Amino acid sequence: MKSRLLPLLALALSAAPAQAAISLFAEYHLGETGSFLSNLPQDSSGNGRNFTSINGGAAVTSSLTPAALAGLNGVAGTSTAYLDTTSTTANTEIWTGADYTASLGSDYAFGIFAQVATAPTGQNRNVFSLGSNNGALSISCETNGQWRASRINQAYIGTGQAITANQWVHLAIIRTGGASSFYADGILLGTTDATAPTNTGGLRLSGLGSTAFDGKMDEARIVTFAAGESTANILAALQTGAGVSAVPEPSAYGLLGAGALGAAALARRRSRRSRAE
């Protein structure tokens, strides 16, 4: 039986259809029921990458009107609520997560919807970054009136996107093929940055140091993908979670298990048939 099953298993694996090429690494709905626990953004991807601390203040959320980020880049949104850091005077709501440097690999992207009433004064504000140390990829809101992408304290990525007051914009950084690119509402902004980032120090949402982002944030996502994936698919996945594999990374084992079960069933059927013949 075993000698029969192994070749069948190998056949089942080699014949398995290609998996979805984009995987949800982490997803933060930022406002909907269950998206916060003790003021900490919860990861709804199933990977358990919840934020682990808040610098101060509390998570204040509001309902979206209309109740979806519909129509942005032609991609229907599904959000019904967002995170609001404008409504307190503490200005300390800065969330920290774990350091995912080792598990992101070489092809990944992250993005978030954001809006502000006015550009910040005094200092630039981080919105969402993959680390807090110098060299980590960061999306920021800057005193010059622009949204920007950068390796923290090292280099900007592409050009800035002018802030439009009180209007949602989707901001994303895609790292693939040894280059980093910045997108605002799906539009590539200028040049790409070839220097490898150093995404250490832990995930950050709103602010670095002690100064929080003073604005609204929604639907933060991190995805990984196979090299060669289309930019349109990556951006759609970041904006709405569309097109990602149904089950997160450990699904490879699940599919393997399903393949083995299928092969075993096939082996049993063949075994019964051969006995009947």
Distance CA 158, CA 138 (A): 13
Q: How far is the CB of 35 from Ca ion (least distance, A)?
A: 7
**135-139: long-range contacts (C-beta < 8 A, 24 or more apart)?**
135/197, 135/198, 135/199, 135/200, 136/197, 136/198, 136/199, 136/200, 136/201, 137/110, 137/173, 137/175, 137/180, 137/197, 137/199, 138/204, 138/208, 139/110, 139/111, 139/112, 139/114, 139/171, 139/172, 139/173
Tell me: does residue 239 bind Ca ion (CB under 5 A).
no
CA distances (Å), origin 236, targets 111, 132, 144, 221? 10, 26, 29, 11
Residue placing its CB nearer to Ca ion in the complex, 12 or 116: 116
Closest residue to Ca ion in the complex (CB): 79
**Do the beta carbons of residue 180 and residue 234 sit within 8 Å?**
no
Closest to Ca ion by CB, 29 vs 221, is 29
Pick the piece of the chain touching Ca ion (CB under 5 A) from 31-39, 117-125, 145-153, 189-197: 31-39
Q: Does 148 bind Ca ion (CB under 5 A)?
A: no
Q: Which two tokens stand for residue 227?
A: 């090299």
Selected from 31, 41, 97, 243, the binder of Ca ion by CB under 5 A is 31
Q: Residue 77 or residue 259: which is nearer to Ca ion going by CB?
A: 77
* Closest separation in Å from C-beta 219 to Ca ion: 5
Q: Considering CB under 5 A, how many residues would be counted as binding Ca ion?
A: 5
218 interacts with Ca ion by CB under 5 A? yes
Taking CB under 5 A as the binding criterion, the range among 52-60, 75-83, 143-151, 197-205 that sits at the site for Ca ion is 75-83
Instruction: Figure out which of the listed residues 23, 42, 47, 79 binds Ca ion, where binding follows CB under 5 A.
Output: 79
Q: Within the chain, where are the H helices? A: 2-15, 101-104, 231-240, 251-276
* Minimum distance from residue 240 beta carbon to Ca ion (Å): 11
Q: Which is nearer to Ca ion, 27 or 193 (CB)?
A: 27
Residues 83-142 touching Ca ion, rule: CB under 5 A, are none
Nearer to Ca ion by C-beta: 146 or 240? 240
Cβ at position 81, least distance to Ca ion in Å: 5
Task: Write the single-letter amino acid at 78.
Answer: T
Based on the shown chain and the rule CB under 5 A, indicate whether residue 29 belongs to the binding site for Ca ion. Answer: yes
Q: How far apart are CA 226 and CA 108, in angstroms?
A: 9
Q: Which is nearer to Ca ion, 215 or 259 (CB)?
A: 215
Site residues (CB under 5 A) for Ca ion? 29-31, 79, 218
